[in-house]
Amino acid sequence: MSKILPVLTFPVLSAVGLTFVTYHPFASGFISKTFFEECANLHNPNRLPPSGYPFVDQGLCALISLFSAFFDQSIFLLWLLTAIVPIVSFMALEASRADRGAPLMVRNPTLPGMLIQTMSFAFTAPLYWLSIIASGRANMRLSFTSTVSKEHAQAIFLAVLLGLVAPTFYMMYFQTPSTTVAFLPFPVFVAIVHDLYIAFTGSSSKSGYSYIRALYILNFLANFYVHLSILLPNINSLQSLKGLFVPSTSLIDLGEPASAHALHMLQWDMYIGIGSTVFATLWFARSAGQFLGLLLWNLVAVPIFGPGAAFAGAALWRESCLHSDVVPRNKKRGKN
pLDDT tens per residue, range 227-268 = 999 888 888 877 777 777 788 899 999 999 998 999 899 999
As for how many domains the chain has, the answer is 1
Q: What distance in Å separates the CA atoms of residue 25 and residue 30, rounded to the nearest whole number?
A: 5
Those residues whose C-beta lies under 8 Å from the C-beta of residue 321, and which sit 6 or more positions away, are 286
Q: What is the pLDDT of residue 329?
A: 45
Q: What is the pLDDT of residue 333?
A: 47
pLDDT of 336 above 50: no
Q: What is the pLDDT of residues 147-200, one digit of tens each?
A: 889 999 999 999 999 999 999 999 999 999 999 999 999 999 999 999 999 999
Other CB atoms closer than 10 Å to residue 324's CB: what's the count? Answer: 12
**Is there a contact between 185 and 114 (Cβ–Cβ < 8 Å)?**
yes
**Is there a contact between 215 and 89 (Cβ–Cβ < 8 Å)?**
yes
Q: What distance in Å separates the CA atoms of residue 19 and residue 295, rounded to the nearest whole number?
A: 28
Percentages helix, strand, coil for the chain (3-state, rounded to 5) are 75, 0, 25
Q: What distance in Å separates the CA atoms of residue 158 and residue 213, rounded to the nearest whole number?
A: 14
Query: What domain range is 202 assigned to?
Result: 4-335
Q: What distance in Å separates the CA atoms of residue 81 and residue 273, rounded to the nearest whole number?
A: 11
Report the candidate in 299, 300, 276, 325 with the shortest Cα–Cα distance to residue 138: 276
φ and ψ of 311, to 5 deg: -65, -45
Question: Considering the chain, what is the average pLDDT of its residues?
Answer: 90
**Is there a contact between 23 and 272 (Cβ–Cβ < 8 Å)?**
no
Other CB atoms closer than 10 Å to residue 292's CB: what's the count? Answer: 12
Q: What is the pLDDT of residues 196-229, one digit of tens each?
A: 999 999 888 888 999 999 999 999 999 999 999 9
Q: What distance in Å separates the CA atoms of residue 195 and residue 236, rounded to the nearest whole number?
A: 48
Longest CA–CA span in the chain (Å) reads: 72
pLDDT of 118 above 70: yes
**Is there a contact between 217 and 89 (Cβ–Cβ < 8 Å)?**
no
Q: What distance in Å separates the CA atoms of residue 187 and residue 159, rounded to the nearest whole number?
A: 10
Report the candidate in 285, 152, 268, 132 with the shortest Cα–Cα distance to residue 208: 152
Other CB atoms closer than 10 Å to residue 219's CB: what's the count? Answer: 27
Report the candidate in 333, 280, 284, 328 with the shortest Cα–Cα distance to residue 307: 280
Q: What distance in Å separates the CA atoms of residue 225 and residue 215, rounded to the nearest whole number?
A: 16
pTM of the model: 0.92
More confident residue, 277 or 146: 277
Averaged over 33-55, what is the pLDDT? 89
Averaged over 31-50, what is the pLDDT? 90
* 306 conformational bin, left if phi > 0, alpha if psi -120 to 50, beta if neither: left
Q: In degrees, to the nearest 5, what angle opens at C-alpha 96 toward C-alphas 87 and 77?
A: 20
**Is there a contact between 197 and 206 (Cβ–Cβ < 8 Å)?**
no
pLDDT of 74 above 60: yes
Averaged over 315-322, what is the pLDDT? 93
Averaged over 120-126, what is the pLDDT? 97
What does 142-172 look like in DSSP terms, one character per residue? TTS----BHHHHHHHHHHHIIIIIHHHHHHH
Report the candidate in 272, 314, 283 with the shortest Cα–Cα distance to residue 19: 272
What does 208-232 look like in DSSP terms, one character per residue? -HHHHHHHHHHHHHHHHHHHHHHHG
